[in-house]
Amino acid sequence: MPDRLQVVADDITRLAVDAVVNAANESLLGGGGVDGAIHRAAGPQLLAFCRTMNGCPTGQAKITPGFRLPAKHVIHTVGPVWQGGDRGEPALLASCYRNCFRLAKEHGLHSIAFPAISCGVYGYPHEAAALIATAECRSALAGNSTLKQVLLVAFDEAMAGVLRRAAQSA
């Protein structure tokens, strides 16, 4: 059976999946990095919609329409800022993935694409984040037969290599 978990190097805003995950901040009012790219591609209606969402705590996730994105939905999640690793960051990062998968299951989604949450501005070490991401993906796939495709989207080949190595060991 083909692996339902795939690593790709791409721009997540181009992917026609049921949901793309946004690495947002607690305001949900946009930012730089993948957050900025998703808002630019989705258009101004996404920000207008997010203004009604009353933010999102770190580790939690909220779902919105995708508007002008090829993806049907955006699942916004807020990763932890890396502070050395003993401030609950691993558990909060795992919680991001679990809550995104919970929403995917509740909405009967068949495909979801994740960026490397917290691995940019928030400074999370890439290997450690990739191990958490792939472990949560394997666990979610085992518990959800409706989910046919999970994409871990790297923005460069280096990150893609980190994710591929983690996926092989997960």
Site string for ligand APR, 75-114 (x = CB under 6 A): ----x-----------------------------------
The crossing angle, in degrees rounded to 10, of helices 89-106 and 126-142 is: 30
Q: Which of 10, 11, 18, 35 is catalytic?
A: 35
Give kind and range of the element (H or E) at residue 167.
Answer: helix 157-169
The nearer residue to ligand APR, 46 or 144, going by C-beta atoms, is 46
d(CA 150, CA 26): 24
CA pseudo-torsion sign 37, 40, 41, 43: positive
Place of tokens 């049921």: 18
User: Residue 34, interface with ligand APR (CB under 6 A)?
Assistant: yes
3-class SS at 129?
A: helix
Q: Give the one residue of 159, 162, 166, 167 binding ligand APR; rule: CB under 6 A.
A: 159
Note the residues at the interface with ligand APR (CB under 6 A).
11-13, 23-25, 31-37, 79, 115-122, 153, 155, 159
Catalytic annotation, residues: 35
